[in-house]
Amino acid sequence: MSTQPVPVGGGSVDFDTLLRDLNHQVWEIRRNSCEELGTSGDTRAVAYLTRLLSDGVGAVRFSAAEALGKLGDKSAIPSLISLLDNPHFGSYGPVIESLASLKAQEAIPYFIRFLRDHDPRVRGLAANALMVMTRQFIGFKAKGNEEERNVAIGQWEAWWEKNKQSVLPK
């Protein structure tokens, strides 16, 4: 493994140090290392960050998910998608944002499902991800009343049924 310095703040920390910090007993250090690896652009970090998606501390898991999206390596998509079925992960926001930035078309049905989430923030993130990824504009108000949301969800579901064959990776 290389000891290439990774720019951090005004200085730099080598890659091996950041990897070692992913195992630190202090969660803030693990979280910070995830953040720094995410901005490093070094895709060698993907496997290590993927492991942190199951960390015992939510802030570390969320930082690892965000970092994977920033790195842009599509090999992280299956691990991120598996979190969308995990009710114990915590906030789905970082995962939704990362999958959208990775243009993970296979996440579209999950995003449509999240339009029904109890949390308006998650609903809003899912609606935004759908619009960005599909370039479709279906009016959806995350804080709108349930009837309005259901109409828009029905439109998204119909769009997906019509277009999923052409959208999904072959």
pLDDT (0 to 100) of residue 52: 96
State the total domains in the chain.
Answer: 2
d(CA 55, CA 4) in angstroms, rounded, equals 26
86 plus 27 within the same structural domain? yes
Whether 81 and 144 share a structural domain: no
Element (H, E) at 148: helix 146-167
Q: How do residues 71-119 score in pLDDT, each as one tens digit? A: 999 999 999 999 998 888 888 999 999 999 999 999 999 999 999 999 9
pLDDT at position 147 is 95
What confidence score (pLDDT) does residue 86 get?
A: 87
Domain that holds residue 45: 15-102
Question: Does 54 share its domain with 132?
Answer: no
Closest by Cα among 151, 148, 153, 101 to 129: 101
pLDDT of 5-55, one tens digit each?
Answer: 444 444 457 899 999 999 999 999 999 999 999 999 999 999 999 999 999
Are residue 23 and residue 84 in the same domain, yes or no? yes
Coil vs helix vs strand at 55: coil
Residue 130: predicted pLDDT: 96
Which alpha helices (H) appear in 2-119, and where do they start and end?
15-21, 27-40, 46-51, 58-71, 77-83, 93-101, 108-114
What is the pTM (predicted TM-score) of this model? 0.86
Same domain as 63, residue 95:
yes
Question: In what helix (H) or strand (E) does residue 126 lie, and over which residues does it extend?
Answer: helix 120-134
Verify that 55 and 108 share a domain, yes or no. Answer: no
